């Protein structure tokens, strides 16, 4: 039989060991939690940083007075007739397209798609739908109300990685499933400016 001192020493060792294990586990959990929070912060900051960079590039395009503007009749380019016609406007710096605006007039409003490009690839797409106002039961063509807007920040065009911000509800068009649905507008602009 062991002496009481040995039992106490053994109990103290068990207690010390359990406390050490508990403190080690708690420390590891705390470190893991800090690492997870740090990673979440980096991802969130990284996305915000990308949005800021894209908005900065768009501001540079908008303020570039050296861009040459070309305007084309959308109906002639597409062969599609709409009630309000359409216009495709392209801004270029030398031979590189920096901005494309496609505006299509419809019976009750218009649809406008604006595409900003960097090195030939879209970085930001803004799609709006606007309705004409009503006055005495008739359309008021002088009043235009924005009913839908989608702003698409394109992180990686080739892999369809983007962030979409929407306000309102589509009424005049169907929604696009991917950023690739905007390629026909880009191709129309390329074709129109290559003539």
Is 148 in the same domain as 74? yes
Q: Is the pLDDT of residue 171 over 90?
A: no
Is 173 in the same domain as 123? yes
Q: Tally the domains of the chain.
A: 2
CA atoms within 13 A on the CB side of 39: 6
Is 117 in the same domain as 185? yes
What does the block give as tokens for 23? 């403190």
Q: What is the mean pLDDT of residues 125-129?
A: 94
Q: Is the pLDDT of residue 98 over 90?
A: yes
Q: Is the pLDDT of residue 10 over 70?
A: no
Which pLDDT does position 9 carry in this prediction?
58
Dihedrals phi, psi of 61, to nearest 5 degrees: -65, -45
Which pLDDT does position 86 carry in this prediction?
93
CB-CB contact of 153 with 125 (8 Å): no
Is 92 in the same domain as 185? yes
What does the block give as tokens for 97? 């397209």
CB-CB contact of 119 with 136 (8 Å): no
Which pLDDT does position 106 carry in this prediction?
87
Which pLDDT does position 22 carry in this prediction?
62
CA atoms within 13 A on the CB side of 36: 6
Separation of first and last alpha carbons in the chain: 103
Vertex 166 angle, CA 139 and 159, to 5°: 130
Which pLDDT does position 61 carry in this prediction?
94
In this predicted model, what pLDDT tens digit does every residue of 24-65 receive, in sequence order? 665 666 666 556 655 665 555 455 688 899 999 999 999 999
Q: Cite the beta strand spans of 48-108 per DSSP E.
A: 68-73, 86-93, 96-105
Question: What residues make up the domain containing 22?
Answer: 1-63
Is the whole-model pTM more than 0.75? no
Is 34 in the same domain as 75? no
pLDDT band at 188 (very low <50, low <70, confident <90, very high): very high
Vertex 185 angle, CA 178 and 91, to 5°: 125
- Who has greater pLDDT, 99 or 49? 99
């Amino acid at each position: 039989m062991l002496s009481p001192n040995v039992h106490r020493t053994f109990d103290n060792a068990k207690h010390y060991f359990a406390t050490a294990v508990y403190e080690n586990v708690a420390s590891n959990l705390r470190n893991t939690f800090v690492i997870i929070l740090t990673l979440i912060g980096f991802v969130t900051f990284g996305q915000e940083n990308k949005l800021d960079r894209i908005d900065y590039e768009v501001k540079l395009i908008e303020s570039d007075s050296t861009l040459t503007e070309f305007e084309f009749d959308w109906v002639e380019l597409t062969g599609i007739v709409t009630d309000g016609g359409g216009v495709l406007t392209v801004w270029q710096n030398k031979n590189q397209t920096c901005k494309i605006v496609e505006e299509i007039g419809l019976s009750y409003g218009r649809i406008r798609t604006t595409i900003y490009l960097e090195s030939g690839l879209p970085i930001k797409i803004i799609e709006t739908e606007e309705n004409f106002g009503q006055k005495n039961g008739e359309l008021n063509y002088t009043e235009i109300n924005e009913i839908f807007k989608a702003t698409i920040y394109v992180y990686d065009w080739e892999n369809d990685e983007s962030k979409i911000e929407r306000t309102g509800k589509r009424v005049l068009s169907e929604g696009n499933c991917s950023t690739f649905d905007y390629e026909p507008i880009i191709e129309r602009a390329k074709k129109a400016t290559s003539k």
